[in-house]
Amino acid sequence: MTVYDLTACLPGPAGTTVPVLAVVDERLKTTSVCLALAHGSRDDPRGRGGVAHLLEHLVMSSPLGGDGPARSFSESVERRGGQANAQTGLEVMLYYAQVHADDAEDVTAALLRAVFRPVLDGHTLDRERAVVLQELAAAAADPSDVVQDAVLAGLFPGHPLGRPVGGEPGDLAAVTVEELTAVHRDRFVLAPGALVVVGPSVPEVLAGSAVDAAGQPADHPAPRMPLGPAGPDDPLPDPDAAEFTWLCFGARSPQADAAGRAAYGVLAHLLGSSPSSLLYRTLRGEHGLSYSFHAWDRGYREAGAWRLLVGTEAANAGQVRTVVEELLTTVAEHGPAADDFDAAVRQAEMSLVLESETPLEYAKLIAERTCAQGRTWSLDSEIAGLRQVRVDDVRRAAAHVRRELRITVRSVAV
């Protein structure tokens, strides 16, 4: 992996500094490029929840300008046979594309222009606002989606981490072009970021003015806000009023830059959806209580969020809760068995390796983690950290999660 200092060739305003990381593999016939910015839904202005998500839509859908037809970045990429998309998170936004290597030059330049010099106008805003509102309506009709926003709201009540990433319909309805322009100018393009290229060569638009830079991208300390207490548990569903329910077990975990975070990821695999996991063997294999469940952990500035999402018939919700709590208690008191621990570590490692062997996913992984951590992320260092996790580390993580555990419930009514 090569690190470039490309401040001079980025089309952003003065003060824009985005390091570029290049993974060159001459065997590839495609080029994947991903731009990450340390700006997310937590940075939305008060009373304007969803501005970051709305801005994401406009960046990808607004006309690029210049010669030729007025096409968006997304359309111009897809017309070349490539793929393009974007995603907004709590603290990081990603903009990315994968195209034939012959098209990498034009597409990389177009991506930078779309992100740093978007055409923000009332017509595009109204159109994309309507699309976002439809997206939110679809999500609101899906309890498995709603519960994931609700668990963060319960873990971080009154805090920016508890805001729904997609925003609130009422807030979005009031957003103006002037407000979006101000957010883009004053916050969005000035946020720390990282641009990652995975392909057979570095596009000239980048490499032509690049100079190899020793060391790592500078650390960018971000403001942190104090956390209040988490909210209470939701009541379990009434089987007479609901057919199916989604239970999201959540607990605060250590913040993104805290030592020992890797143990929480291993714990998530230990209670994940793999047939080798403790939860799978107990919840599905022994009791047949659930077909769909998934565990994961994410770190943010002030704290992380460890989560386990389980779908089950409403009448089984109490049994599911008992199984989850008992498994966490057992791991907290005795630690996982050696073979279960080894399997969970191996799964955590392999999930990273598999992503690294898919060029676009690898570009996204490097960009997101470099941007979130404020330093160059590498697969080797992440795997080395996983291999340092011990059984006692997972035991302590389970004890913490069990102590902090809260349950959020959203059901499908009869």
For residue 262, is pLDDT > 70? yes
Tell me the torsion sign for CA atoms 52, 53, 59, 62: negative
210 pLDDT band (50/70/90 cuts)? very low
Q: Is residue 273 part of a domain?
A: yes
Are 267 and 386 contained in the same domain?
A: yes
Tens digits of residue pLDDT in 373-396: 888 899 999 999 999 999 999 999
Q: What does the pLDDT average to over 355-364?
A: 97
Q: Is residue 56 part of a domain?
A: yes
- The residue among 321 and 10 whose pLDDT is bigger is 321
Cβ atoms < 10 Å from Cβ of 173: 10
Q: What does the pLDDT average to over 108-130?
A: 92
If you average pLDDT over every residue of the chain, what do you get?
Answer: 91
Q: Is residue 343 part of a domain?
A: yes
Distance CA 203, CA 26 (A): 13
Give the pLDDT confidence score for residue 208 in this predicted structure. 54
Give the pLDDT confidence score for residue 374 in this predicted structure. 84
Give the pLDDT confidence score for residue 3 in this predicted structure. 61
- The residue among 5 and 206 whose pLDDT is bigger is 206
Give the pLDDT confidence score for residue 213 in this predicted structure. 39
Are 25 and 159 contained in the same domain?
A: yes
Q: What does the pLDDT average to over 246-261?
A: 95
Q: Is residue 234 part of a domain?
A: no
Are 264 and 380 contained in the same domain?
A: yes
Give the pLDDT confidence score for residue 5 in this predicted structure. 57
Give the pLDDT confidence score for residue 6 in this predicted structure. 56
Q: How far is CA 186 from the centre of its chain?
A: 23
Are 389 and 247 contained in the same domain?
A: yes
Give the pLDDT confidence score for residue 223 in this predicted structure. 75
Q: Is residue 226 part of a domain?
A: no
Give the pLDDT confidence score for residue 170 in this predicted structure. 92
Q: How many CA atoms lie within 13 A of 385 on its CB side?
A: 18
Which residue spans within 213-277 are E strands per DSSP?
A: 242-253
Q: Is residue 224 part of a domain?
A: no
Q: What does the pLDDT average to over 265-279?
A: 96
For residue 120, is pLDDT > 50? yes
Q: Is residue 135 part of a domain?
A: yes
Look up residue 30 and give its two tokens: 């495609």
> CB neighbours of 404 closer than 8 A, spacing ≥ 6?
230, 251, 252
Give the pLDDT confidence score for residue 396 in this predicted structure. 98
Are 332 and 409 contained in the same domain?
A: yes
205 pLDDT band (50/70/90 cuts)? confident
Are 49 and 179 contained in the same domain?
A: yes
Give the pLDDT confidence score for residue 209 in this predicted structure. 46
Report the range of poorest mean pLDDT among 85-94, 112-121, 161-170, 215-224: 215-224
Nearest to 317 by CA among 363, 384, 251, 248: 248
Cβ atoms < 10 Å from Cβ of 387: 12
Are 206 and 326 contained in the same domain?
A: no
For residue 350, is pLDDT > 90? yes
Are 262 and 409 contained in the same domain?
A: yes
Which CATH number is 336's domain given?
3.30.830.10
Are 318 and 406 contained in the same domain?
A: yes
Distance CA 380, CA 377 (A): 9
The boundaries of the domain holding residue 281 are: 242-413
Identify the bridge partners of residue 242 per DSSP, sorted by sequence position.
Answer: 413
Are 203 and 247 contained in the same domain?
A: no
Identify whether the C-beta of residue 92 lies closer than 8 Å to the C-beta of residue 38. yes
Are 202 and 253 contained in the same domain?
A: no
Global pTM reads 0.92
The total number of structural domains that make up the chain = 2
Q: Is residue 78 part of a domain?
A: yes
